[in-house]
Each structure stands twice: as C-alpha cells, then as structure tokens.
Amino acid sequence: MDQNIGQKRYKWRIITGQVILLLACLGIIEYLVRSGIVGSLYLSKPTQVVEEIYKLFADGDIFHHLFVTLKEFAAGYLLSAFAGIATGMVLVLVPHAETFFRPYLSALMAIPKVTIIPLLMLWLGIGLSHKVAIVFLFCFFTIAFNTITGIKQTAEAHLKVARVFEASKLQTVVKVILPSAAPTIFVSLRVSAATGLVGALFGEMVASKDGLGNLLVQSTSLYDTAKAFAIITIVTVVSVLIIAGIDLLEKRIVLRWKSSS
Amino acid sequence: MAGFLISGVSKIYGGATPTESLQNINLTIQDGEFLSILGPSGCGKSTLLEILAGLQLPTLGEVSFDGRKLKGPGIERGVVFQDPSLYPWRTVFKNVELGLELRGVERKERREAVQRYLDLVGLSGFEHKYPHQLSGGMKQRAGLARALANSPEVLLMDEPFGAVDHLTRLQLQDDLLKIWEADKKTIVFVTHDVSEAVFLGDRVVLLSPRPGRINRIFEVPKPRPRKRDDLGLLQIQNEIYAALLEVKSAESLEFTI
C-alpha cells in the first residue's frame, strides 16, 4: 500500500516537472519573439499559434483540408495493409515464391520513394490517386516484409498440433499462421501509419490543390509563420491520434493474450 | 482390433551424415493397453511416438493401426505434447475446442464436450484464462483435455509431465490413470522417468540409444489402484535400473555424461 502511494506521488512529481519544463520553453519562445530578439518571421509566439489554431477551426476551412489529407492517408494505408499482408502470405505460403521474388521486392524497396513522386505526378496527376499511390509506396514494403517475418515465426509445435487435428491448409493459415504473425504485422502497421501520413503530406507539399500539406506550403510562402506552426501542431495531433487508434486495435486483438506483468 | 502393429520400423535422418534414430522396431500395442516407452535421451522415443501419430513416416517398415497402414495423422489418434503447445492467443476453452472446431462440429455440441473434458481434467473455472496465466501443470491438463475432446481411440503422450514439479507430476499421474480407467483408451506414454513408466504402464518398453532399439519389455502385472511403495513395482524398477546400467556401460563415455 505504502509503496503504491509512494509510486503515485513519484509519478505526479514527474508529470508536474514535465509540464513546468514545457511551459518554461514556451515562455522563453514567447519572450524571445515579443522582445524582438528573434524576428516573428522565424518563430512565432505560442499565444499567437493558439490564436491561429482557433481561427483555422473557426472559419472552418481547415476541415476541408483535414478531410482531404485523411482520405488520402486512409485509402493508401488500408490498400497497403491488405496488399502487404496478402503479398507476404503468398510469398511464404507458395513454395519457392519468396526465394524467387525476394530480389525484386528488395530492389523495389530500396528505391527512395520520394524520387518517383514526380513520375507519379506524370502518370496520375496531382489529385487523390497520386497521394494514395505515394502513401501506398511508403507503407507497403514494410508491411509485406514484416508479414513474411511474422509468418516464419509460427512455432513448429503449433503447426504439429494443427496437423494432428487434420486441419486443412486454409484452416492452418487462418487459425494458426495468421494469429502467430499478428504481433509482428502490428509492429509494421504502427510504423507505417506514421510514415504513411508523412507520405500524404509530402505529396501534397510537392503538388496538390488542397490538403494540410498544401495549406502548409501556402502559409510559408506567404511568410505566415504563425499559421505554419498552427498547421504543424494540428498535423502532429492527427498523427498521434492515428497511432493511438492503431494501439487500441492492437490491444484488442493481440495484447490480450500476450504475457505482460 | 484398435491397436498398433509396428513391424520392422527404422528411421534414418538424411543429410551429410545420415543418423539412424530407430532400428528395426517390432512391437504390438494391444487395444486398451497402457504402454510406457522408456529410454534415455537420444533413444528415439519421441520419434517413435511421432511415427505412431503419423507426423513422421518410417524410413523402413510399416505401422498399422486398427488393421490399416498408417499414412498420416488422424483424429482417432490424439496427441499430448511435451511442451503442451497451447495456442497463446486462445483461451483455455478455445484451445480445448480446437479439434472440434476444425472438424466443424456444431457449436452447442462443442461447448458441451469442452466443458465435460475441462471438468474431467479439473480445469473448470479456468475456461477464460489465457495459457500464460496458467501453471505448468494446468497447461498440461489443458493439453490433455484438448486431445480428449476429439474423442480419440488412442492417446499418444510425449513426456507430458516432464516439465512440471514432482508433486504436481504425481497428481497428474493419478488423474491420468483415473481418466484412463473410466474408458480404457489405449495410451502410449513416452517418458524418461523409470518410476513413472512402471507406476502407469501395463508394460514398459525399454529402448537403447543410438540407434534406438527395443532393449527389453517389462510386464507390470500389478492390479490397479497401485501403491507407489508396492514392493513388486519397486522390484521391476530395480530390474529396469539394472538394464539401464548395462545399456550405459555398453555405450561410449559420451553417453554417460
């Protein structure tokens, strides 16, 4: 009991300290900009950023851009998740497929994705499909490779149990192999959620008509630093929320049965 | 006759230096018999069990069950594994349900069977636990229930109590005998524990290592319930220890280490 209270007190002290440090940093920035030591072109006052965020939501324009970005991300991400898991499964479960296709996959993965964004523009224009393709390329390979690794981690003993019960191929995949691979697949789903969002934003910054990335480029080209910071803050919150959503999904599907203290 | 007929079975693992794991095993396992297979590590006893399960095929010779030649695994032969190999992502209930689920047995029937076997092995109340929340002994009970739930004619058990502490082990032995006496399924029980082999079995097959061969077969004619300190049982144990010593002295030094 005592130890529990001690731990709680410790936790609160840490949190209080962290909040104080954050406020201090913001305060220093506020002071630096207010006093003119740093020009408002380079940094902006935290109070003004908050005001900008309020303004963005107040005139409602942000919702359109947010929706566009989220739509691009969601489409590309879901597509890459399905395709990545399916590709990984086919490569491991079809005999010799992985040995045959691995060099191709590795070579494709090695291409820095940003270098083909201009080409994609040529092929797909600057609309939704362009961004979906970018998000897909940012996520697909990680998910496919993690699926391969995950499937290979299936315990030999667990497969033996399935054989003893005369499980069919399909049953073995659905009831043994996929659950075994799930934790490894989830790791890649979490990592690619972050990179996928970066892909959507970057695509928008390079060529687009709308979306948060587009809005960001607009504001910086108008030297509206406060607005830029406001958008960066919003994007960060979106990213955190997406990852929290995936963590929640993982908890419901995987962590329930994983041993944790 | 739902027993095994093992004739001339050898198992050779290929590779750069082929090793003979089993050599010319001839053995008849009677219907309803409790047979212990005993031997030191490396004598191929697990390989023999996997051959009976149909998980491996013999290199030479053949095994028939119920008069038919074995070609692979079958639900009439239930297996209890050394490491119980429960699926960590399934609850105890769902693990025991696995065999029935794979066979497409109706949900209601499945539930009844699972509950019956969980009660039988003493796991009622633990239905919704995950394997990592169970002790070693409870995991083995769940593994046993999983095999039983499919109503096999034979139970093949591969050192099932090897990893649990001694007292739990004695309890598991008693419970296994109780279950066996209720419906007299054939049980083939692989172990490296002499007293366990003698206490449980109608017969004890002693294997010699490298390559695994049948050294001797000991009859254990004592009626059940048996007492662990029964002089007759202890005498058979002593004979087996003596035979093991012969096996050891005949083998190289490497084996004694």
Domain positions in chain A are 2-43, 47-255
- Look up residue A237 and give its two tokens: 């919150």
pLDDT of residue B257: 41
Question: Looking at the complex, does the CB of residue B85 fall below 8 Å from at least one CB of chain A?
Answer: yes
A147: pLDDT strictly greater than 90? yes
A176: pLDDT strictly greater than 90? yes
Question: Looking at the complex, does the CB of residue B94 fall below 8 Å from at least one CB of chain A?
Answer: no
Contacts 24+ apart (CB under 8 A), A173-178: A173/A89, A173/A93, A175/B98, A175/B101, A175/B102, A176/B87, A177/A89, A177/A93, A177/A151, A178/A89
pLDDT band (50, 70, 90) for residue A259: low
Q: Which of A248, A254, A258 is nearest to A179 (CA)?
A: A254
Secondary structure E strands in chain B: 4-13, 19-29, 34-38, 60-65, 68-69, 77-80, 154-158, 186-191, 203-208, 213-219
Question: Looking at the complex, does the CB of residue B36 fall below 8 Å from at least one CB of chain A?
Answer: no
pLDDT of residue A65: 93
Which residues of chain B does A258 touch, with a Cβ-Cβ cutoff of 8 Å?
Answer: 88, 132
Exposure string for A225-245, b = 16+ CB within 10 A, e = fewer: bbbbbbbebbbeebbeebbee
Phi-psi region of B86 (alpha: psi -120 to 50; beta: other; left: phi over 0): beta
- Bridge-based pairing of strands B4-13 and B60-65 is antiparallel
- Look up residue A112 and give its two tokens: 């820095």
What is residue A113's DSSP assignment?
Answer: G
pLDDT band (50, 70, 90) for residue B248: low
* Cβ pair B99:A165 closer than 8 A: yes
Which residues of chain A does B81 touch, with a Cβ-Cβ cutoff of 8 Å?
Answer: 157, 160-161
The whole-chain average pLDDT of chain B stands at 88
Residues A76-97: tens digit of each pLDDT: 999 999 999 999 999 998 989 9
Report the percent of chain B where pLDDT is more than 70: 95
Please name the residue of chain B whose CA is at the shortest distance from the CA of residue A252.
Answer: B89
Report the percent of chain B where pLDDT is more than 90: 41
**Measured distance between the N- and C-terminal CA atoms of chain A, rounded to whole angstroms:** 18
- Distances A46 to A11, A216, A217, A232 between C-alpha atoms, Å: 27, 17, 20, 13
pLDDT of residue A261: 36
Is B207 within 8 Å of B37 (Cβ atoms)? yes
CA A164 to chain B, closest CA, distance in angstroms equals 5
- Give the residue carrying structure tokens 């047979």: B35
Q: What is the mean pLDDT of residues A153-174?
A: 93
DSSP B79-144: EE-SS----TTS-HHHHHHHHHHHHT--HHHHHHHHHHHHHHTT-TT-TT--GGGS-HHHHHHHHH
pLDDT of residue B1: 47
Cα–Cα distance, B36 to B23 (Å, whole number): 19
**Measured distance between the N- and C-terminal CA atoms of chain B, rounded to whole angstroms:** 43
Please name the residue of chain A whose CA is at the shortest distance from the CA of residue B131.
Answer: A257
The yes or no reply on domain A47-255 and CATH 1.10.760.10 is: no
Cα–Cα distance, A72 to A50 (Å, whole number): 27
Q: What is the mean pLDDT of residues A195-210?
A: 93
* Cβ pair B89:A179 closer than 8 A: yes
- Look up residue A3 and give its two tokens: 């130890």
Question: Looking at the complex, does the CB of residue B104 fall below 8 Å from at least one CB of chain A?
Answer: no
ipTM over 0.95: no
Is B179 within 8 Å of B118 (Cβ atoms)? no
Number of CB atoms found within 10 A of residue A155's CB: 14
Cα–Cα distance, A131 to A124 (Å, whole number): 9
Number of CB atoms found within 10 A of residue B53's CB: 23
Q: What is the mean pLDDT of residues B7-19?
A: 86
The whole-chain average pLDDT of chain A stands at 91
Question: Looking at the complex, does the CB of residue A122 fall below 8 Å from at least one CB of chain B?
Answer: no
A203: pLDDT strictly greater than 90? yes
Is B145 within 8 Å of B68 (Cβ atoms)? no
Is A49 within 8 Å of A229 (Cβ atoms)? yes
Read off φ and ψ for residue B5, nearest 5 degrees: -120, 110
B230: pLDDT strictly greater than 90? no
- Give the residue carrying structure tokens 């902006």: A44
* Cβ pair A157:B81 closer than 8 A: yes
Element (H, E) at A258: none
Q: In a 3-state reduction of DSSP, which class is residue B22? A: strand
Number of CB atoms found within 10 A of residue A61's CB: 13
Cα–Cα distance, A166 to A154 (Å, whole number): 18
Is A132 within 8 Å of A76 (Cβ atoms)? yes
A260: pLDDT strictly greater than 70? no
* Cβ pair B99:A175 closer than 8 A: no
- Rounded to a whole number of angstroms, the CA Rg of chain A reads 23
The letter for the amino acid at A235 is V
Q: Which of B161, B89, B81, B159 is nearest to B131 (CA)?
A: B89
Of residues B184 and A258, more confidence is placed in: B184
Residues A113-128: tens digit of each pLDDT: 889 988 999 999 898 9
